[in-house]
Amino acid sequence: METHIKVPIGMSMLEAAHEHDIELEGACEGSCACSTCHVIVRLVSGESCLENFRLPFLQLKFSSKLTPRTHGQDMEYYNKLEDPTDEENDMLDLAFGLTETSRLGCQMTAKPELDGICLELPSATRNFAVDRITNDIFGMVHSHTVIVYKRHNHLRIKGLGD
């Protein structure tokens, strides 16, 4: 499955996903207070950028079928991003399936330098906002973290749009 969308330069990846009904949770509504918009920066080689697109838009692509990843290319695109803030790093520590190239979609904004980047959506999110604490029959306290499993998708930013 692939979905292509146009996203204005400066829009966050979380906003772009929500605007186009793409499954990226964002429980805190982009305030950098959770890890549910966790994405993994990837680059898939062998796919050329789309033609006929110019500023001020980037084209985003969601795909569930990608070729094997190349770590060096992933890091090349990851390094084009601004460094994560301490607040973002704190939230990333809570993310399900954290990798070296993990970021929060609410903290990533579309910019021309990111042409060709691919954002992989992890197969699950950990949402502490819906955690609950219960007592068992022996009076022991248990915390239940809700982990939501979802289909494996990818967000692809390719080309520059009109």
| 105, amino acid identity | G
CA dihedral sign, ordered 44, 110, 24, 21? negative
Provide the strand spans (E) within the chain. 2-8, 38-42, 57-63, 102-104, 118-121, 124-135, 141-149, 153-161
Alpha-carbon distance values, 55 to 40, 113, 120, 160 (Å) = 24, 11, 24, 5
Domains of the chain by residue range: 2-125
Placement of tokens 């009109």 in the chain: 162
- For residue 127, give the nearest of 147, 142, 143 by alpha carbon: 147
pLDDT tens profile 105-151: 999 998 888 766 777 788 777 776 544 445 555 555 444 444 444 54
CATH homologous superfamily for the domain 2-125: Beta-grasp domain (3.10.20.30)
Q: Quick one: average pLDDT of 86-105?
A: 92
Q: Given the DSSP bridges, would you call strands 57-63 and 153-161 parallel, antiparallel or unpaired?
A: antiparallel
More confident position, 138 or 22 = 22
pLDDT tens profile 42-84: 765 444 333 333 445 555 555 444 444 555 667 877 888 899 9
End-to-end C-alpha distance for the chain, whole angstroms: 24
